[in-house]
Amino acid sequence: MKTWKRNAVIAGVLVLVCAGIYLNWLYGSGTQDLTQTLDADKVLGEATLVMNGGVMPQASQVSRQDSMDEYFAQMRLSRQTARDDAIMLLQETISYAEGEDTSETSRKLEGIIADALAESEIESLVIAKGYQDCVAYISDGGISLAVASPAEGLTQSDVSLLADIVMGQTDFTLSDIRVVGVE
């Protein structure tokens, strides 16, 4: 009789385990992709999410902001990489020039450093004037200033203000300044 009870308990547990596996397979095979299950329009719609008294921006605003931030980060990285390569080359030239006249190379190195400082000052002043972000790039032919343009775009007064900032920090004339609005 003991063996019969033990066999009955084992058979009952086995039936429950098999039933659990079957139900798991039955409901698991009918699952859909999460994007099909949760339709974005049904979850949030056109409303904005309010957190701690602030309003979270819509998805289109977030993606525009992210792409603009990425653009300025890439521009700064590219400018810094080019500058670092030039500085390294000039420093190697000075170090291998044992006893030769390195005044021209030293002047170029000092020019790169001065340009980097001027670019940094211009970027800080532009941001202080209320623009979201900007990147300045000084070259031999002039200066290029890429500015995050407001929603309505850059106006003539914006360009005049930006040119005034650049002329106050550098020796460039108005014809040497290129202002580009980044949208």
Determine the straight-line distance between the first and last CA of the chain, rounded to whole angstroms.
84
Single pTM value for the model: 0.58
Task: List the chain domain ranges.
Answer: 58-182
Q: Which CATH number is 58-182's, of 2.60.40.1930, 3.40.50.300, 1.10.287.4300, 1.10.10.10?
A: 1.10.287.4300
pLDDT tens digits along 128-174 = 988 888 899 988 889 999 898 888 888 888 889 999 999 999 888 88
- In eight-state DSSP terms, residue 33 is -
Q: Supply the pLDDT for residue 40.
A: 43
Q: What's residue 91's pLDDT?
A: 83
Q: What is the pLDDT of residue 28?
A: 62
- Averaged pLDDT, 16-26: 70
Taking the C-alpha atoms of residue 154 and residue 120, their distance in angstroms, rounded to an integer, is: 21
Give the DSSP H/E element, type plus range, for residue 110. Answer: helix 103-128
